Structure 1
Amino acid sequence: MKLSSQKRKENVAEYILFMWQLTDLLRSIQFDEGRIRELLIDPLGLPEAEAVAELQWYRDYCQIIREEGKEQRGFPSITLYLIGELHDFHQRLLKEPGEDTYRMLTFNATPALVSFREKVPQPLANDMEYCFYALYSKLLLGMQKQEISQQTAESFAEIAKMVGYLAKKFGQFERGEFSFKED
């Protein structure tokens, strides 16, 4: 899928949130190929060969969801793997000389992260998973037009700043524009 591939190249955090949203959308239409074509492919006005390739991408993604038993809830392992990669990168970046900005962003986001962690019913693998679940929760609340308190909005903003910086650095690292001093 072109949009997915583009998002992955541009910003890994946006890609993860996009894929989670797509997973929920596919669930809501019960993985129906006709609805996938109608809602996600036909509006793009692609030539038939490209439309067929897009539909195959969706078929493959639906198959992954089914194989992993995520038809009802949870998210595919590819996104969880990337979150694990980001968590490892986060740990390294915290120790990197000259990354005071990231350490400050992390420090500022920590109270929000601790508060969110207390509200999640089941434990998650690491702090980065909590960050993404928080950001996805904010996305869902916004889509549902639910009001949130000023404090909650500020908490989400602190987490978003930290993850945004991390995703930017991660992209730079993947493109060879950033390297750790210890490497």
Structure 2
Amino acid sequence: MFIARQKKQENIAEYLLYMWQLEDILRSCRLDIHLVEQALIAPAGYSEEQKKEVREWYEGLLMMMKSEGIQQQGHLQINKNLLLDLTDLHRSLLKDARESQYIEAFYKALPAIVEFRSKSGHQDVSELEACFTALYGYLLLKLQKKEISKETETATKQISHLLALLSQKYKTRDLEPE
């Protein structure tokens, strides 16, 4: 919870990837709060007050996952909504001639996005969702210590750069007066 809060404030793209990973971790705990306590809460060294707060947060996530029917796969509606919000921002940035740095980063990453969508069979997802899915897959490969090709490394760097710029724009957008 504390990591999620910090990531949400600092880098919205990292936050979304973290939340996707957390969904998978909660599934690996069979959406059982007792297993979550053993695996995530107890080893963290929280104070009793922090443990209570974190447990309630995890219980809320578990309840949402169950009520939304995503016990096996899929993403929480709050994460889907965030992705939609980021997609709206992404599209508006692409239409804004003043955003040449973002537009350039997008067109540099576009071949990698197109290739990922064609290889993965995710033709029906937005470009931005494809970026997040590709990065999440890359992170899983790294965690599993699997070999990653030079092409994948290059594509991942381009997509990461794009999402870093998007995160900066998201953060500054929230700071700008209406």
Matches of 2:146 and 2:93, distance apart in 1: 35
Q: CA-to-partner distance for each residue in 1:29-75, whole Å, 9 max, x for gaps?
A: 11222221122112332221221111011011011111111110111
What is residue 115 of structure 1 aligned with on the other side? 115
Q: Give me the whole-angstrom Cα distance separating, in 1, the residues matched to 2:68 and 2:123.
A: 20
Q: For residue 145 of structure 1, what is the amino acid of its counterpart?
A: K
Alignment partner, residue 66 of structure 1: 66
Mapping 1:15-34, distance limit 5 Å: 15-34=15-34
Q: Is the 8 A contact 1:124 1:130 kept in 2?
A: no
Which shifted more, 118-127 or 6-15? 118-127
Map of 1:175 onto structure 2: 175
Query: Identity, % of aligned pairs?
Result: 36
Does the 8 Å CA contact 2:8/2:15 hold for their aligned counterparts? yes
Counterpart in the other structure of 1:166: 166
Q: Which residue of 2 aligns with 1:105?
A: 105
* TM-score normalised by L of structure 1: 0.91
Contact 1:109–1:162 at 8 Å: present in 2 too?
yes
Following the alignment from structure 1 to structure 2, what is the Cα–Cα distance between the partners of residues 40 and 23?
13
* SS class of match (2:62): helix
Contact 1:84/1:128 (8 A) holds in 2? no
Specify the SS of the correspondent of 2:72. Answer: coil
What residue is the counterpart of 1:128 in the other structure?
A: 128
Unaligned 5+ segments in structure 2 are none
User: What amino acid is the match of 2:127?
Assistant: D
Distance 1:3 1:65 in 2: 20
CA distance in 1, matches of 2:49, 2:100: 49
Residue aligned with 1:64, SS: helix
Which amino acid is 1:94 matched to? L
CA RMSD of aligned residues (A): 1.5
Number of corresponding residues: 178
Structure 1: runs of 5+ lacking an equivalent: none
Which residue number in structure 2 is paired with residue 38 of structure 1?
38
Deviation at 1:122, TM superposition (A): 4.4
Q: Determine the C-alpha separation between the residues in 2 that align with 1:37 and 1:174.
A: 34
> Structure 2 counterpart of 1:88, which letter?
D
Note if 1:93 corresponds to 2:96. Answer: no
The range that moved more, 73-82 or 43-52, is 43-52
Equivalent position of 2:54 in the other structure:
54
Contact kept in structure 1, 2:102 and 2:162, CA below 8 Å: yes
Higher mean C-alpha deviation, range 92-101 or range 64-73: 92-101
Higher mean C-alpha displacement, 62-71 vs 43-52:
43-52
TM-score, scaled relative to structure 2: 0.94
After TM superposition, give the deviation of residue 166 of structure 1 in Å.
Answer: 0.6
